[in-house]
Structure 1
Amino acid sequence: MGFHEVMIDPLFADLLPPLGQRGREWIPVTAGESRAAVFRLDDGSVFAKCVAEDGIDELRGERDRVQWLADTPVPGPSIVEWSSSRRGACLVTTAVPGLPADELSSSALLRAWPSIVRMLRRMHELPTAECPFERRVSSMFRIAEDVVRRDAVNPDFLSADQRGVPSTTLLEQLRVELDERRAQEADDLVVCHGDACLPNFLIDTDTLSCTGLIDLGRLGIADRHADLALLQANARETWVGDHEARADRVLGTTYGADRIDSERSRFYLHLDPLTWA
């Protein structure tokens, strides 16, 4: 088994599948600061995500979602290998070709934007009756309640107008809207990515078309605005000049302006940061 010169946690080193060829190595992509560490093979062909024992169920859920999406017309990774033991688990998937959209310049992102929006709409048009995974607002709110109760909200994830406000206050502000959002969701459920930020959209740098989606651990049936809110907010960090206004027009034209509700997007943009710990 080959390893990059950066030190790898011995647990993850044991979980990674052995490499049969001399000179091959696993290169760390993330530091594994929580329960997971991600590695890529040196040729970029596959990625491996490893977790300790307390992350096995979550990673198994991601494995099942990757497998489900692979059987649909929406492009994403395929499973290469899965292993688990009492110590932890490792999921190895194929790489989706392309550059993460957050690494594009504002002008390049604007040219890629119609393809990104079409990819998201393509996912949202998958039949919900065939998707076994759910991420409805009630379950998201329960997760937020747990994160807030443990005082585990990451302030770096909060939107600008949430910062400096106690997390308990943020949660109660959202609770007031919960019944209304449940009712809206019931009439507008789609298959959502669940973490529709720019790094999870891969882009062909030659054609600036979206080649597929990655990081599918939160995929499930939900209100489409759970995705739309994150995509718009994350892209806002890249836009310069009039690009945001132009991108909003493209979103309305390509996705459908009649399907987008700014108030619902605001709700989900404020709820999402409370669901990460």
Structure 2
Amino acid sequence: MDPDRALVDKHLRDRYRDYQWREVTVGHSGSVVAHLTGPADLHLKYGPDPLHPDPGYDIGAEYDRLRWMAAQGLPVPEVVECDVFDGHTYLVATTVSGRDAASPWPAHERMRVIDAVADFARDLHALSTTGCPFDRSLRVTVPNARVAVALGQVDLDGAGPQQALTELDAALRGNDTEDLVLTHGDYCLPNVLLDPETLTVTGVVDVGRFGLADRYTDLTTMAGSIDGPLNPQYTREHTDRFLWRYGLARLDEAKAGFYGVLRRFM
């Protein structure tokens, strides 16, 4: 553990000395995440100010979104506190009850899990966008992608910076018309919690990228999560079910391809 992190870790462990800590290693935000059990059931996240311009790496941005989403009645963790210590922002929030959609589910329940995931996305996207202060449209995300490449904050998978940006520009061509809705921004199976008895959504987590964006931001991410190698319990049939339940016969391949490329820069 580096000295800066060790200092912050000691401060937070002293502050929450009555809790048992278990570090959570699932996820790719770059922050330290821990599950705290004791007088309450909490999750804690901390990290330094990120170089990457995407708000998914910014704990303060997630705090702002949690507060706004809660005020709209959306099921998100309740903020306990958010502060800065020694150049690191930390966020403590209540743990959302339930099991995430990526957990192992009995075969006979998986379609109902997918239905609940689709219903939540459809309902979220149907909400009024009035007053939402978080702009995640292409006029924000595409320039952020360019900045992230310039700062060396993107895994280019062997490609050079110019090659990567050329690929982004090519994918964007013809796909820059947006249907802006409220989006989760990182709508994948681990970020959706369900009641294991009723199979209804109890909440969503990791909302640092929440905001106004095209619905394909969520649809492409979730379709890839369902059909991806990290969730082998699900098949292409479940992806098709997600789209059907949401209200689509299929994804627009070109548009989904673009949002898949854009996601690699986040």
TM-score (norm 2): 0.82
Structure 1 unmatched runs, 5+: 1-7, 156-162
Distance 1:33 1:271, change over 3 A: closer
Is 1:47 equivalent to 2:43 in the alignment?
Answer: yes
Measured in 1, the distance between the counterparts of 2:223 and 2:29 equals 27
Aligned residue for 2:79?
79
Is 1:30 equivalent to 2:22 in the alignment?
Answer: no
Aligned residue for 1:160?
none
Measured in 2, the distance between the counterparts of 1:54 and 1:267 equals 25
TM-score (norm 1): 0.79
Distance 1:29 1:144, change over 3 A: same
Measured in 2, the distance between the counterparts of 1:148 and 1:205 equals 41
Aligned residues: 254
Letter in 2 for 1:51: G
Letter in 2 for 1:95: T
Distance 1:230 1:34, change over 3 A: closer
Letter in 1 for 2:143: R
TM-superposed CA distance for 1:27, in Å, is 2.3
**What pairs with 1:109-128 in structure 2 (closer than 5 Å)?**
109-128=110-129
Letter in 2 for 1:26: W
Higher helix share: 1
TM-superposed CA distance for 1:49, in Å, is 0.9
TM-superposed CA distance for 1:169, in Å, is 2.4
TM-superposed CA distance for 1:210, in Å, is 2.1
Measured in 2, the distance between the counterparts of 1:254 and 1:33 equals 29
Measured in 1, the distance between the counterparts of 2:16 and 2:89 equals 17
Measured in 2, the distance between the counterparts of 1:85 and 1:274 equals 29
Aligned residue for 2:236?
244
TM-superposed CA distance for 1:101, in Å, is 1.4
TM-superposed CA distance for 1:42, in Å, is 2.1
Per-residue deviation, residues 132-166 of structure 1 (Å, max 9, x unmatched): 101112322122222333444336xxxxxxx6655
Aligned residue for 1:263?
254
Per-residue deviation, residues 228-267 of structure 1 (Å, max 9, x unmatched): 00100011123568x423541x334321117953321111
Aligned residue for 2:190?
199
Measured in 1, the distance between the counterparts of 2:10 and 2:30 equals 14
User: What's the Cα RMSD here?
Assistant: 3.0
Is 1:19 equivalent to 2:16 in the alignment?
Answer: yes
Distance 1:17 1:121, change over 3 A: farther
Structure 2 unmatched runs, 5+: none
TM-superposed CA distance for 1:227, in Å, is 0.9
Letter in 1 for 2:8: L
